[in-house]
Amino acid sequence: MREAFFEIIEGVTRHRVRAAATAFGVFWGIFMLAMLLGGGRGLRNGFERLFQNSAISAMWAEAGHTTKSFQGLGPGRKLQLEIGDIDALKKSIPELLDISPRQLLPVSESVRRGGRVVSLPVYGVYASFAKVEMTQAVRGRALNELDNERSRRVVIVGSRARELLFGDASPVGEHVGIGGIDFTIVGEYHDACSEDERRRIYMPYSTLVRSFDGGAGVQTITATIRPDADPQQVRASVLRVMGRRHRFDATDVAALDVFFLAEEFKRLQMLLYGIDIAIFTVGFGTLLSGMVGVSNILFVSIRERAREFGVRRALGASASTILMMVIAEALMLALFAGGLGLLAALGAIKGLQSLAIDSPLFTHPDVDGSAIAGALGILVVTALFAGYFPAREAARMTPIEALRQE
Amino acid sequence: MQDESNAGQNALIHVEGLRKSYHAGTQSVSVLNGITLRIERGEFVAIMGASGSGKSTLLNVLGLLDNFGEGEYRLAGQSTRLLGERASARLRNRLIGFVFQSFHLLPQKNAWENVALPLSYRNVSRRIQRKRAHEMLERLSLSHRADHRPNEMSGGQRQRVAIARALVTDPPLVLADEPTGNLDSETSDEVLRLLGGIHAEGRTVVLVTHELDVAHAAQRLIHVRDGLIDSDERLVRA
């Protein structure tokens, strides 16, 4: 075994420069494959983070303009959502859970704390909205149903809003003025998705309506849907119920924009699969070209060594011994160069990780164990192919044919 | 008839009606045209013939380096006609030692590694290989060259290394194809003395040459002409 190993090393290293050039092709192939896989993972991590702080089952519905005539009403009407829609949807569509209105105060409203005034978006929501947006209370508590029932003058603030108003200090129990009304901060939440979402302030919907004369208007209806519900069927049900209430054609999808995160997530997953396939194709192609180099060089090598194979055959080596010897040389070259390429790629990815790139669409590139195992598997299989055909040519000659080669 | 059959089975080499042709495109060239030959254990046989007479092809077939078309070839009593490639390799390794005109030493290996090569196909440990190779080199007065590569040795030394390699597995048959063809007369004599010594140990030696002087080192001289045995004579040493 040891003898065979040395024989293989000797075969590979006989022409060092040529072997090194060939090895570089394999090195580069596996390096590119691993880097692309790592980059693809970074891209996937970035995209998935976008969805991290919203329930995948979330539904958002916003008023649009009708595009179809209905019951004598012409197209182009702007819908006005109202709080009664929430109850109607809840009663008619059992697939809808955690339904909540979301109403934004006019942007002109500023938030005041002592002498500090900051322009921040303020929303009125039900307690159930936290399940749609998946906001996590990091200090104090979240809004609850009693806050809404009693129209309490309480708010929760995002972590960025807290920084702007209080610096590093805890805002819980503190007071802020919004539109000249005093509100008590009962909690602080964090949203990893974006800074924009961390600037928000939420108060009970009923408080917003009563305090700011918002009437019963609703800008957005939010909900989650049951995990087993089909978004398309739920959309049709929502349009049917809302169409009856607001007198528009239930097939007029422009009248009410009903958006399901699950559908977007599915589309994104398809995109990511597409990117994965593209990455794999490019990476595998690069590796394959390296392996074609190995195969070519082995073809050259076995022609040069034909007489050696003839001598070996004359002295007792069988054709299969020669076959295995050449394949083992291809494997050794590929595994050595590929192993180095993989190590270099892992080092480069670690380097990228230490740079802590935090783009909205790219974060924490990584290559997991299964990808490494896959890359090594591809390496071994392609090396076997790269070695097999030259090996077969070497083994096919009779001993005397091989001995007669110049 | 019975006796003849038994005799054939006892002979180390028994060839009957051996034919071989080469095909080049649509043309077929007959090289061996029905050779019948028997070589007993312990014989020293020289095969002579003009270039293209078929003598080297005959030696290659006898050495299982090449296949043949028709006829029968029994080596040490075993029919080689339907022998598989792997079995042929095993027989070559166990029964035959080769000495080639151009030595055929592997240039990347030193003398002892070249000598040990046949043992590596017998799953012999590297330690034993080294020991046996050094013993063979010592026997051929080449101990001091054990770690030298072929390009660091003279032609005579290379051929002695090749002879050591042929003998390292202790084969009963040594086939030598023009072993002195690339050597000067002094070195040729030395190689022939070595082959004589190998024969004296009881081995069968078959030598192909086109030089009569070389052939006279043998006990028996076979002339091949047009792929057939033209003459087969016993030589009497002076």
Q: What is the mean pLDDT of chain A?
A: 87
Residue B7: predicted pLDDT? 46
Transcribe B173-199 into DSSP letters.
EEEEESTTTTS-HHHHHHHHHHHHHHH
d(Cα A131, Cα A140) in Å, to the nearest integer?
17
d(Cα B42, Cα B178) in Å, to the nearest integer?
20
- pLDDT exceeds 70 at position A4: no
pLDDT above 90: percentage of residues in chain B: 74
With bands split at pLDDT 50, 70 and 90, how would you rate the model's confidence at A212?
A: confident
pTM passes above 0.95 = no
Report the phi/psi class of residue B8: left, alpha or beta, with left for phi > 0 and alpha for psi in -120 to 50.
alpha
User: Which of B93, B105, B106 lies at the smallest CB-CB distance from A316?
Assistant: B93
Query: What is the chain B residue with the closest CA to A400?
Result: B65
User: Which of A3, A307, A317 lies at the smallest CB-CB distance from B89?
Assistant: A317
Q: Which residues of B touch A (CB under 8 A)?
A: 60, 63-67, 85-86, 89-90, 92-94, 98, 100, 104-106, 108, 117-118, 120-122, 126, 129, 165, 169
CB contact under 8 A, A3 and B65: no
pLDDT above 70: percentage of residues in chain A: 93
Quick: pLDDT tens for B217-235. Answer: 999 999 999 999 999 999 8
- pLDDT exceeds 50 at position B8: no
d(Cα B58, Cα B49) in Å, to the nearest integer?
11
With bands split at pLDDT 50, 70 and 90, how would you rate the model's confidence at A248?
A: very high
Element (H, E) at A190: strand A181-190
Quick: pLDDT tens for B65-80. Answer: 999 999 999 999 999 9
Do residues B128 and B204 make contact, with C-beta atoms less than 8 angstroms apart? no
- pLDDT exceeds 80 at position A15: no
In B, which residues are within 8 Å of A14 by CB distance? 108
With bands split at pLDDT 50, 70 and 90, how would you rate the model's confidence at A369?
A: confident
Chain A nearest-CA distance from B116, in A, is 10
Q: What is the ipTM of this complex?
A: 0.91
What value does the mean pLDDT take over residues A380-393? 87
Quick: pLDDT tens for B42-52. Answer: 999 999 999 88
What value does the mean pLDDT take over residues A155-161? 93
What value does the mean pLDDT take over residues A61-75? 92
Task: Name the residue with higher pLDDT: A169 or A294.
Answer: A169
- pLDDT exceeds 70 at position B205: yes
Angle between helices A319-354 and A306-314 (to 10 degrees): 130
* Identity at A125, one-letter amino acid code: V
User: Which of B63, B85, B94 lies at the smallest CB-CB distance from A319?
Assistant: B85
Lookup: tokens for A298: 């082995």
* Environment class of A364 (CB within 10 Å of its CB; exposed 0-12, middle 13-18, buried 19+): middle
Residue A405: predicted pLDDT? 77
Residue A107: predicted pLDDT? 56
Quick: pLDDT tens for A331-349. Answer: 888 888 888 998 998 899 8
What value does the mean pLDDT take over residues A11-32? 81
CB contact under 8 A, A314 and B92: yes
d(Cα A53, Cα A190) in Å, to the nearest integer?
9
What value does the mean pLDDT take over residues A396-402? 87
What values do phi and psi take at A60, rounded to 5? -125, 135
In A, which residues are within 8 Å of B169 by CB distance? 316
d(Cα A214, Cα A177) in Å, to the nearest integer?
18
